[in-house]
Amino acid sequence: MTTDAERLTVVTGSSVTRRKVISIVSHVLLIGASIVMLYPLLWLMASSFRPENEIFTSGVSVLPSANWSFDSYVRGWNGLRVGFGQLFINSFVISALSVIGNVVACSLAAYAFARLEFAGRRFWFAMMLMTLMLPYQVTLIPQYVLFLNLGWVNTILPLVVPKFLAADAFFIFLMVQFFRGIPKELDEAARMDGAGPWRIYWKIILPLSMPVLATAAIFTFIWTWDDFFGPLIYLNDLRQYTVMLGLRTFTDNTGMSDYGGMFAMSVLSLVPIFVFFLLFQRLLIEGIATTGMKR
Amino acid sequence: MATQVDTSASTGAGRVASPSFWSGVWQNHAPGYLFLLPWLIGFLGLTIGPILTSFYLSFTHFDLLTAPRWAGIDNYMRMFTNDPKFAASMRVTFVFVVFSVPLKLAFALGVALLLNRGMKGLPLYRALFYLPSLLGASVAIAILWRQMFAGNGLVNQLLANFGIQGPSWISNPNTSLWTLIILAVWQFGSPMIIFLAGLRQIPQDMYEAASLDGASKWRQFWKITLPMLTPVVFFNAIIQTIEAFKSFTPAFIISGGTGGPINSTLFYTLYLYNEAFGFFRMGYASALAWVLLAIVALFTAFSFLTSKYWVHYDD
């Protein structure tokens, strides 16, 4: 007991300087870790502005080259038989449609689960939760056969239509959690005034759910933009390619690679995500903190 | 007896036929199902149907061009007795999961603890550490990684400053998998944010009481922080493990789709993809998918069953 008490007085006695030292050490550690973590990104960025012959001679520097130029961007943009502009358009179309599909379909389902009474609700909700854990490989091959028979392979339909059928159950779960937090009195008051489920959904739930709808929209956009596996399987024609497939094509030309062009297009492909990050950082971080998303 | 049955049947029919009964059913249940309809169509058509179909296909030989041929348990037999690539992909995936998930969570927790000390600039640090998580799934990052760990890549140029001549990390089967583990650990940001949220839930008075009792910071961590955080640790561990099992893109890009060198980055998902869409062995790939499902399901069930021995819940 006495030793503990002594230690306590010692600690409290020197606590001001001690706390300062700990704080400085922590900051040094965190700044060091930030630099190590961001270094590869900075290097990628710097390399994309270097002339091709400097990329591997300028070593580890992340400072802009003296003869920096946009040459790599021009070469990369035209590096495939189809310009990267087309690929960006394709990616944007797929991502935008996915956002609409996810927000509409998932919010409809979430409203049913969170607010409506109907036979079998608990059962379907449990089924929905189960699909959260399901590895997509289990449904992959029959889905491919189905889309093949529908003649949808090499179109964007297999990538977009499932979103309109609320296939990303994760967002349903996210929205259910949010909808449950909206006071039920609001629904009941509206019902007194003769509003049906549709009016309540449209006039009360959706307007009050903008944060969760925005979170779902942003994550859908980013995940669809990043998606590699879906386009890899369903899109074969270069004109249909997404940006991610285009980048992969660079790595395929193993013989004589255009590193500058590849890096430049890599940087460009990250720009939309980075913009979302800058604009909606708080929304994204809160979304993860409250629900625990995978990435 | 017979009349009784008749009357009950007729009253039943009468009730069913009455318009008020049906409109009641309609009013009570139809809106729910109407709102659920898109999901329900997707669930039946894109999830349940395909799950059952893939179970059937796993017992067939199917090349997509001709009808599936019944194969009994051939696919599963081949997998477990006569397929070195399957064994290799299992080994690679398990090594990846076993090393990447604990390392990632350890970094996430360590940084979260540092940040939770009421650091100035917390939002900035949090955002910086989160950025790799957000970007990390991209093909662009996999390309960057491939370059970093190449023979003349960034890592070796850094090492050259210290006079060390590094190998080509990605073309050496002993190190290639580790480049992917490092890539996964680099993305510790999202579990870190969840840890931070969990740390904030721990009541401060518990620490104050412990300090008054003279418990050291170290002791407080083991006796308060960690036990109170176990639900979050549990959650993060499950999510990250399932994600690690499903990881595909980095291995595909870094190995050029082959899983090489010498199968050292042949992730299970990559092997499955190659069997299905490289060799069109759809039956065998379906069997692989079902084994993956079994592994994930067993892991999840095991985690939940053992959780009551180490996860601390308030109630």
Nearest residue on chain B to A230, alpha-carbon basis: B249
Average pLDDT value over all residues in chain B:
87
Cα R_g (chain A), whole angstroms = 26
A289, B194 Cβ separation under 8 angstroms: yes
Average pLDDT rounded to a whole number, residues B296-301: 90
B13 vs B253 pLDDT, higher one:
B253
- Which residues in chain B (227-256) have CB-CB distances under 8 A to chain A? 235-236, 239-240, 242-243, 245-246, 248-249, 252-253, 256
Of B49, B138, B239, the CB nearest to A292: B239
Among residues A5, A201, A26, A32, the alpha carbon closest in space to that of A108 is found at A201
Q: Does the N-terminal peptide bond of residue A142 adopt cis geometry, omega within 30 degrees of 0?
A: no
Q: Cβ separation of A228 and B139 shorter than 8 Å?
A: yes
Residue spans of alpha helices (H) in chain B:
2-17, 19-42, 49-57, 74-81, 84-115, 122-135, 139-148, 154-161, 176-186, 189-201, 204-212, 217-220, 226-246, 249-254, 268-273, 282-310
Confidence (pLDDT) at B35: 94
Position B85 pLDDT exceeds 50: yes
Alpha-carbon distance B62 to nearest alpha carbon in chain A (angstroms): 11
Other beta carbons less than 10 A from residue A214's beta carbon: 15
Alpha-carbon distance B46 to nearest alpha carbon in chain A (angstroms): 6
A137, B272 Cβ separation under 8 angstroms: yes
Nearest residue on chain B to A119, alpha-carbon basis: B29
**Cα dihedral B295, B296, B298, B303 sign:** positive
Residue ranges in chain A modelled with pLDDT below 70: 1-14, 58-59, 253-257, 291-295
Q: Cβ separation of B54 and A139 shorter than 8 Å?
A: yes
pTM for the model stands at 0.88
What are the φ and ψ backbone dihedral angles of A96, each rounded to 5 degrees? -65, -45
Confidence (pLDDT) at A14: 63
Q: Name the residue ranges covered by the structural domains of chain A.
A: 2-69, 82-291
Q: Cβ separation of B248 and A229 shorter than 8 Å?
A: yes
Top-level CATH class of B75-310?
mainly alpha
Nearest residue on chain B to A285, alpha-carbon basis: B193
User: Which positions in chain A touch B240 (Cβ < 8 Å)?
Assistant: 294
* Residues in a beta bridge with B70: B60
Give the SS3 label for residue B15. Answer: helix
Average pLDDT rounded to a whole number, residues B225-232: 89
User: CA dist A3 to A8, A80, B214, Å?
Assistant: 9, 73, 9
Of B144, B296, B300, the CB nearest to A266: B144
Q: Cβ separation of B293 and A105 shorter than 8 Å?
A: no
Nearest residue on chain A to B129, alpha-carbon basis: A34
User: DSSP letter at B121?
Assistant: T
Average pLDDT value over all residues in chain A:
87
Confidence (pLDDT) at A145: 95
Burial group, residue B142, by CB count within 10 angstroms (0-12, 13-18, 19+): buried
Of A167, A228, A244, the CB nearest to B46: A167
Q: Cβ separation of A135 and B292 shorter than 8 Å?
A: yes
What are the φ and ψ backbone dihedral angles of B60, each rounded to 5 degrees? -135, 165
- Which residues in chain B (275-314) have CB-CB distances under 8 A to chain A? 276-277, 282, 285-286, 288-290, 292-293, 296-297, 300
Of B29, B125, B297, the CB nearest to A30: B125
Identify the band that residue B257 occupies on the pLDDT scale cut at 50, 70 and 90: confident
Q: What is the torsion angle, in degrees rounded to the nearest 10, for the CA atoms of residue A283, residue A99, residue B129 and residue B180?
A: 160
Give the SS3 label for residue A135. Answer: coil
Of B35, B53, B111, the CB nearest to A108: B35
For B129-151, the pLDDT digits (tens) are: 999 999 988 999 999 998 889 88
Of B49, B148, B190, the CB nearest to A295: B190
Please report, as a single letter, which amino acid is at residue B118.
G
- Which residues in chain B (152-181) have CB-CB distances under 8 A to chain A? 152, 154, 157-158, 160-161
| Non-local CB neighbours of B203 within 8 Å, separated by 6+ positions | none
Nearest residue on chain B to A115, alpha-carbon basis: B32
Q: Rounded to whole angstroms, how far apart are CA atoms B274 and B270?
A: 6
What are the φ and ψ backbone dihedral angles of A198, each rounded to 5 degrees? -65, -45
Which of B62, B139, B141 to probe by mutation at the A interface, max A CB count within 10 Å? B139
Percent of chain B at pLDDT > 70 equals 93
B116-138 residues labelled b (16+ CB within 10 A) or e (exposed):
beeeeeeeebbbbbbbbbbbbbb
Give the SS3 label for residue B61. Answer: strand
Tell whether B122 is within 8 A of chain A (Cβ).
Answer: no
Confidence (pLDDT) at B5: 42
The structure tokens listed for A120 are 């079998």
User: DSSP letter at B264?
Assistant: T
Q: Name the residue ranges covered by the structural domains of chain B.
A: 2-57, 75-310
Q: Cβ separation of A228 and B35 shorter than 8 Å?
A: no
Among residues A98, A110, A118, A123, the alpha carbon closest in space to that of A227 is found at A98
Alpha-carbon distance A51 to nearest alpha carbon in chain B (angstroms): 17
Q: Cβ separation of B136 and A295 shorter than 8 Å?
A: yes
Name the CATH superfamily, with its identifier, for domain A82-291.
Answer: MetI-like (1.10.3720.10)
Q: Rounded to whole angstroms, how far apart are CA atoms B286 and B296?
A: 15
Average pLDDT rounded to a whole number, residues B237-256: 90
Give the SS3 label for residue B60. Answer: strand
Please report, as a single letter, which amino acid is at residue A246.
G
Q: Cβ separation of B286 and A250 shorter than 8 Å?
A: no
B86, B217 Cβ separation under 8 angstroms: no
For B165-222, the pLDDT digits (tens) are: 888 888 888 888 999 999 999 999 999 999 998 898 888 888 888 888 888 888 888 8
Question: Residue holding tokens 């510790």?
Answer: B188
For B30-78, the pLDDT digits (tens) are: 888 999 999 999 999 999 999 999 999 999 999 988 889 998 899 999 9
Confidence (pLDDT) at B10: 43
What are the φ and ψ backbone dihedral angles of B178, each rounded to 5 degrees? -70, -30
Which of A9, A136, A141, A143 to probe by mutation at the B interface, max B CB count within 10 Å? A141
Identify the band that residue B1 occupies on the pLDDT scale cut at 50, 70 and 90: very low
Confidence (pLDDT) at A58: 67
Q: Rounded to whole angstroms, how far apart are CA atoms B26 and B46?
A: 27
Give the SS3 label for residue B2. Answer: helix
